[in-house]
Chain A
Amino acid sequence: MKTIRHALLIARKDLALELRTKESLNAAGAFAIVILVLFSFAFEETEQIKEIGGGLLWLVFAFAGALIFNRSFARELPNDCLDTLLASPLSPASLVTGKALANFVMLLAMELISIVIFGIFFNVNWTRHIGELSLVFALGTWGISILGAVFGALTVNLRLRELMLPIIIYPLLVPLLIAAIELTKLLLSNQSMTPNDFLWTKLLIVFDVVFTALAMLLADTILVN
């Protein structure tokens, strides 16, 4: 209970800071819009776009996400705020979870902007399966967010953290991205889910549960020294 309370406190603080500075959202949003505009010139508005739409969207989310995660723990470096938090009654697990929650909200906001733009530029009606699509986005985004928070913590003190973070997290994100891309492709094509497709949903859930558990278990080791 205390961990959840503290995690919410961290998330609220991070979101307040982000709303004030807009340093992550501006960068991630601008990146996403530019990429989607470029894609709209590169790919024709055909039925084929529904096949590749899932891949395009999740690539944008994953790359724009890195811009958000890089700031996540770096935000704690000025004035040694990270030390202050670690010396406080706040547990490292709640710190990492709180960071993941803030990342999750920011990434979802960026995804909402991206899918609206995607729908307009590629003439795709993504609202038909909005419930299922929301579930896929939520599961996929949580997985990216928790991984981003863990490795954001791990790389926070590295000189080349902006380079290191994507190098480390992208290979680990492959199973999650494949599952999210497959499900998004299916939903954008207006196909109904078969039992085989539920396997992708299960993969997303397992990924989220495993990495959330690992994040909470390893947070102390990662953050202290």
Chain B
Amino acid sequence: MTSAIELAGVWKFYGDYAAVRDVTLNVEEGSCCALLGRNGAGKTTLLRILAGLSSFERGSAQLFGVSPRQAHAGFLGHGIGVYEDLSARENLHFFARVAEVAQPESIAAEWLERVGLANASDMLVRQFSRGMRQRLALARTFLHTPKILLLDEPFTSLDDRAIAMLSELLVESRRRGATIILSTHQLREAMVIASHVALIENGRLRHAGERTEAMLDDPGLLYRLHA
């Protein structure tokens, strides 16, 4: 297996505070790594570094041998990343064209159908319910079938339907060989999907390895082992 994501000795400072401390992590191609850790542990900062949204002071980060800025991973952060004053169709069409997807109009229509928004495709996003927005955000993230997916707490505040949809999309993405890193506090969902787990605490990587059967049976095990 080749490494899709390689972090070596990465340090990130906010002023004097080290948010990420000497993190070295390899994620194999086609695997799904659940990035665990308590609030403020450094998960979001690490994901932002991998998405090319944040620079770092020391170390190196590569995604498929190129810098994060060149890798163009599919990224879903805390915001849904769509425009309130565009319709669902206009949003997906725009992001499909930005991602240089072939036939952006048909891809946008296909994804609207897939996330159950075909009937609301010409409504402005500002008129959407929370659940509809989240489903649109999922469509926006996955529509260009990225080789790497970086998802920051993707299960947070999703309703049952959206959780099922996200789980299905993640399973499908893994099947086509995509590499996934997702940070989450929803341990049970994460353990079911993940092939690997990484635990980060105070900016330091405390554990990285395969997800074991014991973790699946007891999702909180890793936290207790490193308490």
Do A and B pair up? The answer is yes
With known contacts A79-B80, A84-B95, A88-B95, A16–B53 Cβ distance under 8 A: no
Q: Identify the B interface with A (CB < 8 A).
A: 48, 51-55, 69, 72-73, 75, 77-86, 90, 94-95, 97-100, 140, 150
A13–B54 CB distance below 8 A? no
- A79 is contacted by which of B82, B90, B150 (Cβ under 8 Å)? B82
Which of A78, A83, A86 has the largest number of chain B CB atoms within 10 A? A83
Secondary structure type dominating chain B contacts: loop
Secondary structure type dominating chain A contacts: helix
* Cβ–Cβ < 8 Å partners of A86 in chain B: 51-53
B84–A9 CB distance below 8 A? no
Jot down 29 A-B pairs with beta carbons below 8 A, ordered by A. Answer: A6-B98, A9-B94, A9-B98, A13-B83, A13-B86, A13-B94, A16-B90, A17-B86, A20-B86, A21-B85, A78-B84, A79-B83, A80-B80, A81-B81, A81-B83, A83-B75, A84-B95, A84-B140, A85-B98, A86-B52, A87-B72, A88-B98, A88-B99, A89-B72, A89-B98, A89-B99, A220-B69, A224-B54, A225-B54
In the assembly, what is the distance between CA of A90 and CA of B52, in Å? 12
Interface size on A, residues (CB 8 A): 22
With known contacts A13-B86, A86-B53, A88-B99, A224–B69 Cβ distance under 8 A: yes
B79–A80 CB distance below 8 A? yes
In the assembly, what is the distance between CA of A84 and CA of B225, in Å? 36
In the assembly, what is the distance between CA of A6 and CA of B98, in Å? 7
The smallest C-beta distance from A22 to any residue of chain B, in angstroms, reads 11
In the assembly, what is the distance between CA of A220 and CA of B94, in Å? 22
* Cβ–Cβ < 8 Å partners of B48 in chain A: 83
Contact with B along A3-28 (1 / 0, CB 8 A): 00010010001001100110000000
In the assembly, what is the distance between CA of A206 and CA of B182, in Å? 48
Contact with B along A66-81 (1 / 0, CB 8 A): 0000000000001111
A224–B73 CB distance below 8 A? no
